[in-house]
Every structure is written in C-alpha cells, then in structure tokens.
C-alpha cells in the first residue's frame, strides 16, 4: 500500500501499489470519481458547485449572472449626456445612446475631386468622398500589345502594361532584324514582328501557319540551352520555331533565297511574289 493524492479533491488516501502503477486508482472515493467524470466545477465568482459539459469546459462561471462577459457597465452619451447600460463584452462598440445621437456628431464635407457632399462621424476630416476619387482610374492602351490597363495619376509616363511589353516594345530594332524584315516584305509573307506569347516575344510570327522565325545574334545567343528550353515551351503552344543565325545572314549572298529555303518546308512559297 502506498499513499497518493486524489486527483479531484486532493485528499491523501492509501491504495495498492500495483493499481497506482497501472493508473487505475486515481480517486479516493466513488463520489470523487463520479464528480470528475461529470466535470463538476466550482464557480470562480460565487463558489457554487456546478456541472459543466465537456464541450464548454473552458467556462469558469456557473451562470451568466456570475460571468463578467454578460455584466453591464454605465456609459454616458457624448451628445446628449444620457446614461446607458452596455455589456462589458461589447462596451467598446457602443458610444452613443441612439442612432440619432451618433448621426448628430457628423460633419459635412465637399469632395475636392467630384464636388459631391458627404459626411464623416466625429472629428474626422476628409477631402475625398470615396476610394475612386482618391485614386481615379486612368485607362490607357499598351504601346506594344494594345491591351487596356489601369494607370494611376502619379504614373504619367507609363505606356506599357507589363515589364515584358516595356522590354520588347521600347527596344530598338537590330540591324539583323531590319534586314530580315525587309527580305520578308519583298517575299510577300504575312507576318507580325515582336509577337508576344506568354513571357516570350517572337522576332517574326506567321499567324496563318503558326510558325515563328527567330533571328539569333552571335552575342545574345551563346547559350543554346536557353533557346532549347524556349522552343519546348513554344511547341506546347502549338508554334513551330525556325532559327536563322547571324553567320548565315552575313555569309548569304541572297537572303531572300535563304529565307525561302528555310520556310519552304512549312509554308507554300510558290504562289508568293519574289
């Protein structure tokens, strides 16, 4: 036999050692065991015992009258001076005794943007009636893709919808691209220069045949792994990529013939003018 303390009332009692080891002997009597199972507690305010269900075991009071959450306090209306009773749990939400007193403490302003009259409670000061007047939308068209986008009033110099459009739309045409563009114009192929596909911009795109012609400069296209990764993504979009290097363009005596030979596998060039 060993002496242990009751887990409910704390009273010491003697119990067999083997039952204590296996966790069977926890309470000094059947009454303490029943009270612990039924979750009997003592009110923190009045000291009265009460049975608290398990789903509300966090409660420390026997009733709403004892709980300070439901107790009320007195507040004075700042407009009319009337004394009102407000619950402690929601005391910060109520300041006035009625809607009339709350509206009586409002001031009227005139929006400097649209001239509309509006009201604000208390001592607040405002110059705009709404968020639209604070930051009015300015809709402009992107210079690269033509897509409409919203521009804030402070961004007076913004002309592109995204960084990719700015990167490809603001850059100047290289000499290789200019030579290729002039040759494609003489051949008579319908193409779009700097066509945007996702985050990539194609040098020349033939929309009727889903073909992309890329002009690879020796300096910017040293890493061929980037070009292969780019081609795989464009293939997933259903676009076939044809590449012409700077060496091929400079060494060719007839660029029109070179482009025709590269594109003849995918385009019907017999009916096109030379």
258 and 229 in one domain?
yes
Residue 134: count of CB within 10 angstroms of its CB: 13
pLDDT, tens digit (0-9, with 9 covering 90-100), for 72-131: 788 888 888 888 888 777 778 888 888 888 777 788 899 998 999 988 877 778 889 988
pLDDT digit string (tens) for 48-81?
776 665 545 456 777 766 776 667 788 888 888 8
Q: Give the torsion sign (CA, 142, 146, 148, 149).
A: negative
Pairing status of strand 200-206 against strand 240-245? unpaired
Segments forming the whole domain that contains residue 84 = 72-103
Q: What is the mean pLDDT of residues 211-232?
A: 82
| Number of other residues whose CB lies within 10 A of the CB of residue 145 | 18
CB 244 within 8 A of CB 258: yes
- Is residue 223 assigned to a domain? yes
What's the chain's length in residues? 274
For residue 188, the domain's CATH number is 3.40.960.10
- Residue 64 in any domain: the answer is no
| Residue 274 confidence (pLDDT) | 40
CA 219 – CA 258 distance, rounded (Å): 22
Q: Tell whether 181 and 236 lie within a shared domain.
A: yes
Strands 211-216 and 240-245: parallel
Do 212 and 196 touch, CB atoms closer than 8 A? no
Give the predicted TM-score (pTM) of the model.
Answer: 0.39
Is residue 183 situated within a structural domain?
Answer: yes
């Amino acid at each position: 036999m060993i002496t242990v303390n009751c887990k409910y009332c704390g009273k010491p009692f003697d119990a067999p050692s083997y039952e204590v080891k296996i966790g069977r002997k926890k309470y000094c009597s059947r009454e303490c065991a029943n009270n612990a199972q039924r979750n009997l507690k003592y009110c923190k305010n009045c000291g009265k015992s009460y049975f608290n269900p398990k789903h509300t075991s966090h409660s420390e009071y026997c009733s709403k009258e004892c709980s300070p959450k439901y107790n009320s306090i007195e507040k004075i209306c700042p407009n009319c001076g009337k004394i009102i009773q407000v619950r402690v749990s929601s005391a910060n939400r109520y300041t006035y005794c009625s809607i009339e007193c709350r509206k009586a403490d409002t001031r009227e302003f005139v929006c400097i943007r649209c001239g509309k009259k509006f009201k604000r409670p208390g001592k607040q000061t405002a110059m705009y009636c709404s968020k639209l007047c604070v930051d009015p939308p300015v809709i402009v068209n992107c210079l690269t893709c033509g897509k409409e986008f919203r521009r804030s009033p402070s961004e007076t110099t913004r002309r592109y919808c995204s960084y990719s459009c700015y990167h490809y739309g603001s850059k100047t045409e290289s000499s290789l691209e200019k030579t290729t563009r002039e040759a494609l114009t003489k051949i008579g192929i319908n193409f779009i220069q700097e066509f945007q596909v996702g985050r990539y911009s194609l040098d020349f795109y033939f929309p009727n045949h889903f073909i992309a012609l890329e002009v690879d400069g020796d300096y910017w296209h040293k890493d061929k792994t980037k070009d292969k990764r780019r081609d795989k993504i464009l293939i997933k979009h259903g676009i076939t990529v044809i590449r012409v290097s700077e060496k091929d363009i400079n060494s060719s005596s007839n660029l029109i013939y070179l482009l025709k030979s590269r594109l003849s596998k995918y385009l019907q060039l017999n009916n096109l003018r030379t």
